[in-house]
Amino acid sequence: MDKDPDPSDQKKPSQFNSYLKYSGLAVQLVVTIGVAGWLGYWLDKYLGLKFPLFILLFTMGTFAGVIYQLYRSLNK
């Protein structure tokens, strides 16, 4: 005698899809900012700059782009 699973125990597909969408977006944002920071660090070191110019430029520019992308994604 199999019991039918209670529908309230299962998550709705739309809730699961939203979770995947936003967790994937968070990972993408962190990785993008991390890569920009690493690239800025490498470029500063390669050029021998004492002030971390490219780290600041790349991370701030990427952060602004990420916030804009997040804004567009959340307003859909």
In a domain, 10, yes or no: no
pLDDT at 68: 92
pTM for the predicted model, two decimal places: 0.71
In a domain, 45, yes or no: yes
Of 33, 58, 30, residue with least CA distance to 44: 58
The amino acid at 33: I
- Number of domains forming the structure of the chain: 1
Query: CA triplet 40, 68, 12: central angle to 5 degrees?
Result: 115
- Domain hosting residue 47, numbered range: 25-74
Q: What is the pLDDT of residues 5-43, one digit of tens each?
A: 655 555 567 888 878 888 888 898 899 999 999 999 999
d(CA 18, CA 11): 11
